[in-house]
């Protein structure tokens, strides 16, 4: 059994949750390797829609061990709420394993996320305000508090007192916000500890042993390639490594353990938050995509910006992640359109770009070059085999495949698990 990474090939919200949920039962472990509760996966179980932000979708299957790796940041209150919600739905969370090296999101991270966005004013990133950026900042600054610190209340308090010296000054003097005492946070976090500590595990050893024993491990990426801290549309990115490479750093397995990299791309394009988006639509078509596609964020409830499929972005994602397979989601949303545009290249300053420009300025000002394809104008949500799709929809997929230079081995035509066309996908 292989190690497979599933990544978003655009700006997040590609429908990764549905695909993870679809293939998870074939694996022994489903592992989150970066991000925190800025992610939002909607899974449909027994006709019920469940929103997961932190816990891997593999939790839905009793044969799967869900794992949160060291590359993640964890808001313990959110984690416990999510565990409680799942338990109420009759889904056991006992199997959940958490790396002791994952970092904790602390109350001041939430304050600082909101406050620094306010300070940025019109240059704001448009974060989810879940404290993600400030938690990763502290990790890099080596003043972060980790899950394993919950094991020792004295150490936890000592680290907290140390970091609060700086945080309280920042909160009070720069942002005019209330400060914290170590005692208050300790009281709150040590109650969380009772729930979290039983789930702490040596994730890296466990996964390496599993892979050596030929057991299946699915590394579930959150956000998307263009939100990656290194390879995304910086600074309008999240603070973690969403790309396939993040799976190795974020769990402690070597790159040769990864056999396949499955990229998920929506049949059109959306993004939330600020930053470049060359194919963004500000017209009726954009509104149609938003409406039919239900383009509202699972985590923040914000409306998503909508635009045409950008083959430049997906080609870039194919290269950066080393995609071996592509899954195109929400193809059914395009069924209402007479004609469908695909961005095949960008123009900027007398230069033609076939991949994402290397400078922020060029990306911001890139003008898309489009090719127009005919729509199919019929309901495809009941199609289960590629041959059942109308010719125009098959041509659209073939075009995407050619431009990405990666086989499209899965196509989603609706939100439920069954509404998926398998086209050569194998583990």
CB-wise, 168 or 300, nearer to ligand IMP?
300
- Catalytic residue from among 25, 26, 28, 41: 41
**Residues whose CB is less than 8 angstroms from the CB of residue 132 and which lie 6 or more positions away in sequence, other chains included:** 35, 36, 38, 73, 105, 109, 113, 238, 239, 240
Tokens 């599933």 -> residue: 6
Find the shortest distance in angstroms from Cβ 267 to ligand IMP.
17
CB-wise, 58 or 133, nearer to ligand IMP?
133
CB-wise, 132 or 340, nearer to ligand IMP?
132
Q: How far is it, in rounded angstroms, from Cα 168 to Cα 106?
A: 13
Find the shortest distance in angstroms from Cβ 128 to ligand IMP.
3
Q: How far is it, in rounded angstroms, from Cα 329 to Cα 21?
A: 14
Would you call 13 a catalytic residue per the annotation?
yes
Q: How far is it, in rounded angstroms, from Cα 281 to Cα 308?
A: 7
Q: DSSP for 375-391?
A: ---S--TT--SGGGS-H
Tokens of 391: 């010719």
Question: Footprint of ligand IMP on this chain (CB under 6 A)?
Answer: 12-13, 38-40, 125-128, 130, 132-133, 222-223, 227, 236, 238-239, 272-273
E runs forming strands in 242-288: 260-266, 269-271
Contact 231, 11 (CB under 8 A): no
Closest CA relative to residue 145, chosen from 195, 193, 106: 106
Find the shortest distance in angstroms from Cβ 114 to ligand IMP.
11
408 Rama sector, left if φ>0, alpha if ψ -120 to 50, beta otherwise: beta
CB-wise, 222 or 323, nearer to ligand IMP?
222
Cα–Cα distances (Å) from 44 to 20, 51, 60, in that order, read 12, 9, 10
CB-wise, 223 or 248, nearer to ligand IMP?
223
- Burial bucket for residue 211 (CB in 10 Å: 0-12, 13-18, 19+): buried
CB-wise, 281 or 337, nearer to ligand IMP?
281
Would you call 53 a catalytic residue per the annotation?
no
Find the shortest distance in angstroms from Cβ 164 to ligand IMP.
22
Closest CA relative to residue 5, chosen from 303, 211, 213: 211
**Residues whose CB is less than 8 angstroms from the CB of residue 115 and which lie 6 or more positions away in sequence, other chains included:** 171, 174, 175, 177
Tokens 């995609």 -> residue: 323
CB-wise, 101 or 127, nearer to ligand IMP?
127
CB-wise, 32 or 423, nearer to ligand IMP?
32
Cα–Cα distances (Å) from 354 to 265, 348, 368, in that order, read 18, 11, 10
DSSP code at position 256: G
Peptide bond just before 196 cis, omega within 30 deg: no
Q: How many CB atoms lie within 10 A of CB 177?
A: 16
Which residues are designated catalytic?
13, 41
């Amino acid at each position: 059994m292989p190690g497979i990474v599933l990544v978003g090939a655009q700006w997040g919200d590609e429908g990764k949750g549905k695909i993870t949920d679809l293939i998870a039962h074939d694996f022994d472990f489903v592992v989150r390797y970066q991000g925190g509760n800025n992610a939002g996966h909607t899974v449909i179980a027994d006709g019920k829609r469940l929103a997961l932000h932190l816990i891997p979708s593999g939790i839905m299957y009793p044969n799967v061990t869900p794992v949160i790796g060291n590359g993640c940041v964890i808001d313990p209150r959110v984690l416990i709420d999510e565990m409680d919600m799942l338990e109420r739905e009759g889904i056991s969370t006992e199997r959940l394993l958490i790396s002791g090296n994952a970092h904790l999101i602390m109350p001041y991270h939430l304050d600082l996320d909101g406050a620094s966005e306010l300070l940025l004013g019109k240059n704001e990133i448009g974060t989810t305000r879940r404290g993600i950026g400030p938690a990763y900042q502290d990790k890099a600054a080596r003043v972060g508090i980790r899950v394993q610190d919950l094991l020792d209340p004295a150490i936890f308090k000592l680290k907290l007192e140390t970091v609060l010296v700086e945080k309280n000054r920042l909160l009070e003097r720069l942002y005019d916000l209330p400060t914290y005492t170590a005692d208050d946070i300790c009281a709150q976090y040590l109650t969380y500890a009772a729930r979290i500590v039983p789930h702490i595990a040596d994730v890296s050893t466990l996964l390496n042993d599993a892979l050596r024993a030929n057991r299946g491990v699915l590394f579930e990426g959150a956000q998307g390639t263009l939100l990656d801290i290194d390879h995304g549309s910086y600074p309008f990115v999240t603070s973690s490594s969403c790309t396939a490479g993040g799976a190795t750093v974020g769990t402690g397995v070597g790159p040769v353990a990864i056999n396949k990299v499955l990229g998920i791309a929506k049949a059109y394009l959306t993004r939330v938050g600020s930053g470049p988006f060359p194919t963004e639509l500000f017209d009726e078509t954009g509104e149609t995509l938003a409406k039919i596609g239900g383009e509202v964020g699972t985590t923040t409830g914000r409306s998503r910006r909508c635009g045409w499929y950008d083959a430049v972005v997906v080609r870039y994602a194919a290269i950066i992640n080393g995609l071996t397979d592509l899954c195109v989601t929400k193809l059914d949303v395009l069924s209402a359109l007479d004609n469908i545009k695909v961005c095949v290249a960008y123009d900027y300053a007398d230069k033609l770009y076939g991949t994402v420009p290397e400078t922020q300025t060029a990306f911001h000002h890139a003008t898309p070059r489009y090719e127009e394809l005919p729509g199919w104008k019929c309901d495809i949500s009941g199609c289960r085999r590629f041959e059942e799709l109308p010719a125009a929809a098959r041509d659209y997929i073939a075009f995407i495949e050619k431009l990405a230079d990666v086989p499209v081995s899965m196509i989603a035509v609706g939100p439920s698990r069954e509404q998926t066309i398998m086209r050569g996908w194998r583990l």
